[in-house]
Amino acid sequence: ISSKHLFFCSFSRKDTSDHLRKYYSEDFVLQHDLLRELAVHQSSQEPIEQTKRLIIDIRGNNLPNWWMEKRQPISAHLLSISTDEMFSSSWCNIEPSAVEVLVLNFQTKNYKLPEFVEKMYKLKVLIVTNYGFFHAELGNFQLLESVPYLEKIRLEKVSIPSLCKDPIQLRSLKKISLFMCNIGQAFRNCTIQVSDALPNLMEINMDYCNDLVELPVGLCDIVCLKKLSITNCHKLSALPEEIGKLENLEVLRLKSCTDLPELPESIRSLHKLSILDISDCLSIRKLPKHIGELHNLKKLHMEGCLRLRNHFPPSTWDLDQLELVTCDEERAKLWEPVKDFLTNLQVEVVGKDNNLNWLPLQDF
């Protein structure tokens, strides 16, 4: 097995399972330590100046000898740097001008992006993962403005500073994924509009962001957004009416947002929406009155919506493009009269899930 295959399985994989296709097109899995050690070992067998995948493990502040020496720019396309809880964030400069993917793993309470990030003119993907017990403050975020081709960012267990302050403009960014992050400050105290800071953003994923109470209104100005996924954010209690401005939105996923009481009526304006997922939204009691205006809606996932007991609004009969509804047995009965009109509609009854890991801790 090549080090390339071993490494990339550590942060992403495609899942083509029929059972999972309606939830995530990709998810993140952890790699066994032994496999990672093997990947590091194989990578270290090549000269630093020639390797295409450079994987570095730093213990304390003991940087590799080659890093301390003056050498020609490294040619790696993928650079992974892991540091432990003793690392002081004191970086020595390197010349990573060829790097396209940067992976930073750390365990300290405060962490700064390395100064050499602003020299990564070819950088397309940034992945920052905190393996410590507590959220970490992420500094030097403004360095990313110097990276002209950055398309994807994934952050895990960090407190994110304002993304649109001082100002920071990430014009090439198309996708941002936030997992177990504190994002309360990310879109506050802005000196420029969010849509100006992130003008080409097409996908936002937020998962287990426990301080998210209300979706920031500014995100609704990013009209090129195609996918908005907010999952397992148990304190989310409101979506702004301005969400109807996302005229190009194709996927809206709100799975396991247990405190969300309703969907705003303005979603009637999301005419390109093809997938809506409100699975395990325990507090939703009704569908929007004008849901029938979602003329392009093809899939609706609503299993686990236990408080959704009333008949659906009359406009539901206008969902003539709807092909698949997944729900539990009780909700399936509510769809019976609708199926008489929508003859191509398939209602799939999903069995009870005894795995309660998705529930917020305060429920136990």
Domain chopping of the chain, boundaries: 202-364
CA–CA distance, 334 with 142 (Å, rounded to integer): 51
Output the pTM of the full model.
0.84
Q: Is the pLDDT assigned to residue 76 strictly greater than 80?
A: yes
Task: Determine the 3-state secondary structure of 358 from DSSP.
Answer: coil
Neighbouring residues of 354: CB distance < 8 A, sequence distance ≥ 6: none
Tens digit of each residue's pLDDT (9 = 90 or more) over 299-314: 999 999 999 988 899 9
The CATH T-level fold of domain 202-364 is 3.80.10
CA–CA distance, 20 with 253 (Å, rounded to integer): 14
- What is the 8-class DSSP label of residue 37? H
Residue corresponding to tokens 């795995």: 355
Mean of per-residue pLDDT scores for the chain: 84
Tens digit of each residue's pLDDT (9 = 90 or more) over 218-228: 899 999 999 99
Which burial class, exposed, middle or buried, applies to 283 when counting CB atoms under 10 A from its CB (0-12, 13-18, 19+)? middle
What tokens does 241 get?
């009416």
Confidence at residue 225, expressed as pLDDT on a 0 to 100 scale: 98
- What is the 8-class DSSP label of residue 36? H
- Percent of the chain with pLDDT strictly greater than 70: 79
CA–CA distance, 271 with 212 (Å, rounded to integer): 26
Q: State how beta strands 26-27 and 13-14 pair.
A: antiparallel
Q: Is the pLDDT assigned to residue 12 strictly greater than 60?
A: no
CA–CA distance, 6 with 31 (Å, rounded to integer): 8
CB 234, CB 256: distance < 8 Å: yes
Q: Is the pLDDT assigned to residue 210 strictly greater than 80?
A: yes
Nearest residue to 130 via CA among 173, 96, 188, 180: 180
Segment 53-81 mean pLDDT: 84
Q: What share of the chain is helix, strand, coil (3-state, %, to 5)?
A: 20, 20, 60
CA–CA distance, 201 with 346 (Å, rounded to integer): 33
Confidence at residue 61, expressed as pLDDT on a 0 to 100 scale: 87
Tens digit of each residue's pLDDT (9 = 90 or more) over 94-133: 888 899 999 999 999 999 999 999 999 999 999 999 999 9
Segment 257-274 mean pLDDT: 97
Distances (CA, A) of 201 to 152, 174, 177, 205: 9, 4, 11, 11
Q: Is the pLDDT assigned to residue 50 strictly greater than 90?
A: no
Q: Is the pLDDT assigned to residue 10 strictly greater than 60?
A: no
pLDDT-derived band at 13, boundaries 50, 70, 90 = very low
CA–CA distance, 229 with 203 (Å, rounded to integer): 8
Element (H, E) at 227: strand 227-231
Segment 35-53 mean pLDDT: 65
Confidence at residue 14, expressed as pLDDT on a 0 to 100 scale: 40
Q: Is the pLDDT assigned to residue 287 strictly greater than 90?
A: yes
Higher per-residue pLDDT: 185 or 205:
205
Long-range contacts from 318-321, C-beta under 8 angstroms, 24+ separation: 318/292, 318/293, 319/291, 319/292, 319/294, 319/295, 320/295, 321/295, 321/296, 321/297
